[in-house]
Structure 1
Amino acid sequence: MKPDPKEKFVGIQVSPISFVDEGVDQVLDTLKDRVGVNVLMLGTLSWLGLKTGRSISHKIDGWPDHGVHEPYSMKGGAYFKPDPRYYTKTMIKDFRAQDPEMGDTDILELVLPEAKKRGMKTYVELMEPFFKYAGHGSASAVEIPNLTHCLEIDCYGRTRDEPSTSNPDYRNWISSMIEDQVRNYDIDGFMWCNERNSPLDQMMQGQAPGDFSQASRREAIERGIDVEACRRAVIKMHEFIQAAHAGEEFDDGAFIEFLRVLMGNPEVLIWERFWLERNKDLDRELYGMVKWCKPTLDFGLNVWNRNHFNIFRRAQWPWVEQTMYADWVKPITYQHQSGEIWHKEFGFFQKSILRDFDPIEGAAVLSKMLGLKAAPLNKVIQAGMDPDDYVGGQCADAVRGVHGKAKVYMGIGIDAPRVREDQAICTPEIAYRSVMATYQAGGDGVVLSPNYSMMKLSNLDGVSKALTELGLKE
């Protein structure tokens, strides 16, 4: 059955710099007429090149067949004009972008009128963390006065490298700049992405976990949690994982020792659960706030691919729960790039709790448990993920998981940045098959990702071909 054109949702994530580089009319006409896009996911605030810059992988991928072919001196910040009335409850007030290429441009004022003339919807796209996110082309400096007072504290009392989402100033700033855009601009919706690592994530990746800042401690105590017992427990777990990484021998092997440490220190899971709920609270609060300001505004979740690559996160983030605070979900499935991401994600386990298993055999078992149908570990980077098995499979999982309580718009990777020369590349066929797989699996739409400024028009033509065959493009 072909999708209903009246329900068409073909979105694309697009950077402010593209409209300055190519002109608003050129970008919108290309996306609408050549590709078939009818929804813009506009990055309005970030310090990450992946969200608001030009190509961050041009040294490997080359430049796309449009736009300006030179690095962008992105400093990051807000690409709209913050209204001071909304920032009285936070010390974070001075965060307007100062990129020389953008000048004093308010990207929403620039794009919204022209998009509406063409019948295109505009959603604001935001992703947390906003700063210093490895692999996302982060700005080298974040010039926000006093932001250092909002940073997390790890289990040893050291300042970590990202703001605490429990810090009132930081949390109020997030809600303030979202309310600002909801009230002051005639947007059609929000897409919110929350990509924070939990304490267990952090430990598996070799980091000392947080967040033991005063704000987080206070919230935990209010929920009846013994913070010091949890801190001592996560130190024990961190010490074990560090020993596993270092090659220390364990009498019963690394996996049994992991279970032994976990059972001997159950507060690890108490802290993990507390952190998880506070993280989800942020999503829930933003959903409710947007709906209170404008009940008809769409609110969707851009859902991290680690949620389907990691067995712990898969259990922690059930789809049906997310429908309680989202009108739709966008599972990230950047198929050509994802072989390397799966390889990296499995590597965290293989270097720690699964280090005694043959890597190829261990990855095959986890792949089957997660329903990935991934290529063997020693070939998956070069092969990438198959659009039918991966995009279609993840779409089917999401459609089944939301139980009809939310729409599913699949995040289709078009030239998602590679990190290795031998990594699989995007092609028009991959783009075509990914779109077709989405609708064959019962998906309600697609979001072309992660950024138009990095996409080749020749690959977007594969999307156009699929949309034409589906009756979604004239």
Structure 2
Amino acid sequence: MNDPVVAIQIGAVSFVDEGVDATLDVLAERGGVNALFLATPTWTRGTGGRQVPGYPLPDHGVQSYDLGWRGGNYATPHPEYYGNTVLGAAGRAPEHPDLDLLATLVPRARARGMKSYAWMEESGSARELRTYPNFAKVLEVDAWSRPGLRPCFNNPDYRNWHLGFVEDYVHSYELDGLAWCSERPGPLNLLLQGPVQVGDVGCFCPHCARIGRERGIDVARAQEGYRALVEWNAKVGAGERPADGAFVTFWRILLTYPEILAWQTLWTESQRQLYRDIYGAAKAGAPEIEVGWHVYHNISFSPFYRADQNYEEMAKFSDFIKVVIYNNCAGPRFYTWVKNICAGLFADAEPEDVYPLMLKLLQLDEGAYEKLPQTGFSADYVRRETERAVRGVAGRAAIYPGIDIDIPVGQPSENLEPSTHVGKANWDTTRGDLTQCSRESVRDAVLAAFEGGAQGVVLSRKYSEMRLDNLSGAGDAVRALDA
């Protein structure tokens, strides 16, 4: 294989804590890394800051948590690129004010033959965003016409703010690429896969309503249908069972309000249109720059979300797609996902009944449901999901699977700080003796990705939570490929 991309997601704190050159040495020597996904902007603990508080600290870096971490833009904002939004150039991270992550790392990495990508996290549910002036003006509107919890993709001020980041980065730094992440599944998918908060479900703002009318959707009926679904979700999540069952009642609401599906499609297309606009803005500024997307873990768990994420369509505005195929944490996460949907769409059944059906629908082949938190998913899952993505893009975009290296599993040993996000976070509610990565498991996952036809991998989620020996598993795989 000719020079596959071996990227790693890494935040500013790692270079501050451990030094730029020393860190780059470790990444190259242990992980075989030849590309950096530099986390900026980010407002989520999943990609920014040190280890998530309450989980074991890794064997490198400062041995304490950065409690109170807030996140934001770790590059220098250039105001001229943010003039078309009420948010302006808001967002400079309060941590490390003297560090411009991109200005510092891009030339240093290039001197070593490493590529540099801006790893851009939308972080729409982050609490920190709510502290920015005018942010309330870009929030979604819920089914009762009240401000929602997350920003709206069709709000021009929110769209232009993110496009401002893109133009700023492309024009101000000699980046090799942009990788943009938005871990949001749309209102219908949220409602059917478990209990939600009312403000999670939108959007019915004037911008979305206008687009809905242009598509011939009865906006009032769509909003009425989502109110009915929110009420269904609340009752089923609280343990109530309709006379005809949770699933039949859900389906009846869908038949009564076909506008519900149309509105889910409108929401998904709005997110996808922002992808297209980001791609266009980046290419307009630097035609040679690589632009790609992070497709989050729900694509492995939810057949409903998977139906929204059409690789063939995405390839039309992608140079690469980073598909999350985190095999170790997939066990506890899927265990939790199945349990959650049994408090939603499949509330008439038990998780042990639903799990085999999900395996069939998702073309998965993993172990017993009750053992998932202790075993995780296999390396063969990485190969199979990589193959599926490669077939989907049909050569029109590169596939870079995300590889799990020490992503925290289960609940933290103690809650050391308030949640940094609004809304419900039901990724992984497991506890006890849970699956862990090893050097061998990382090696096997990387090799499986390349066996599946990947053109590269992205070591994930962030260097500041990885153990060095497990990072070395990636290097073992790279050396095996070169042998």
Q: Same-fold call, TM > 0.5?
A: yes
- Cα distance in 1 for residues equivalent to 2:435 and 2:480: 26
- Extract unaligned runs of 5+ from structure 1: 133-137
Is 1:405 aligned with 2:396? yes
- Cα distance in 2 for residues equivalent to 1:271 and 1:249: 26
CA drift at 1:247: 3.1
Is residue 41–residue 124 contact of structure 1 (8 Å, CA) maintained in 2?
yes
2:117 is matched with: 123
CA drift at 1:198: 0.6
Is 1:83 aligned with 2:94? no
1:135 is matched with: none
2:313 is matched with: 321
Identity of aligned residues (%): 35
- Cα distance in 2 for residues equivalent to 1:52 and 1:325: 27
Is residue 302–residue 331 contact of structure 1 (8 Å, CA) maintained in 2?
yes
- Cα distance in 1 for residues equivalent to 2:410 and 2:239: 27
Is 1:197 aligned with 2:191? no
- Cα distance in 2 for residues equivalent to 1:243 and 1:392: 40
CA drift at 1:142: 4.4
- Cα distance in 1 for residues equivalent to 2:433 and 2:261: 39
Is residue 335–residue 372 contact of structure 2 (8 Å, CA) maintained in 1?
yes
Is residue 315–residue 396 contact of structure 2 (8 Å, CA) maintained in 1?
yes
- Cα distance in 2 for residues equivalent to 1:429 and 1:45: 32
2:88 is matched with: 93
Q: Spell out, residue by residue over 1:259-309, the C-alpha distance to the aligned partner (whole angstroms, 9 max, x if none).
A: 222112111111111111111111111112111221111011111110221
Secondary structure at 1:123 match in 2? strand
Pairing 1:226-265 to 2, within 5 Å after superposition? 226-265=218-257
Is residue 349–residue 355 contact of structure 1 (8 Å, CA) maintained in 2?
yes
Is 1:8 aligned with 2:8? no
CA drift at 1:238: 2.1
1:160 is matched with: 148
Is residue 283–residue 325 contact of structure 1 (8 Å, CA) maintained in 2?
yes
Pairing 1:296-375 to 2, within 5 Å after superposition? 296-375=288-367
Q: Spell out, residue by residue over 1:420-442, the C-alpha distance to the aligned partner (whole angstroms, 9 max, x if none).
A: 44321111111010011111111
- Cα distance in 1 for residues equivalent to 2:209 and 2:58: 47
Amino acid at match of 2:30: R
Is residue 81–residue 96 contact of structure 1 (8 Å, CA) maintained in 2?
no
CA drift at 1:237: 2.0
Deviates more, 1:207-216 or 1:363-372: 207-216
1:435 is matched with: 446
Is 1:186 aligned with 2:174? yes
Is residue 237–residue 343 contact of structure 2 (8 Å, CA) maintained in 1?
yes
- Cα distance in 2 for residues equivalent to 1:433 and 1:165: 38
Secondary structure at 1:45 match in 2? coil
Amino acid at match of 2:42: S
Is residue 129–residue 196 contact of structure 1 (8 Å, CA) maintained in 2?
no
- Extract unaligned runs of 5+ from structure 2: 412-431
User: Relative to 1, partners in 2 of residues 1:193 and 1:98: Cα closer, same or farther, differing over 3 Å?
Assistant: closer
1:460 is matched with: 471
Q: When the two structures are superposed, what TM-score results if normalisation uses the length of structure 1?
A: 0.93
Q: Spell out, residue by residue over 1:132-188, the C-alpha distance to the aligned partner (whole angstroms, 9 max, x if none).
A: 2xxxxx65x743111112111110122222211221111100001111000110000
Equivalent of 1:396, from 379, 382, 387?
387
Q: When the two structures are superposed, what TM-score results if normalisation uses the length of structure 2?
A: 0.91
Is residue 354–residue 362 contact of structure 1 (8 Å, CA) maintained in 2?
yes
CA drift at 1:85: 0.8
User: Relative to 1, partners in 2 of residues 1:330 and 1:173: Cα closer, same or farther, differing over 3 Å?
Assistant: same
CA drift at 1:96: 4.3
Is residue 102–residue 173 contact of structure 2 (8 Å, CA) maintained in 1?
yes
- Cα distance in 2 for residues equivalent to 1:35 and 1:280: 33
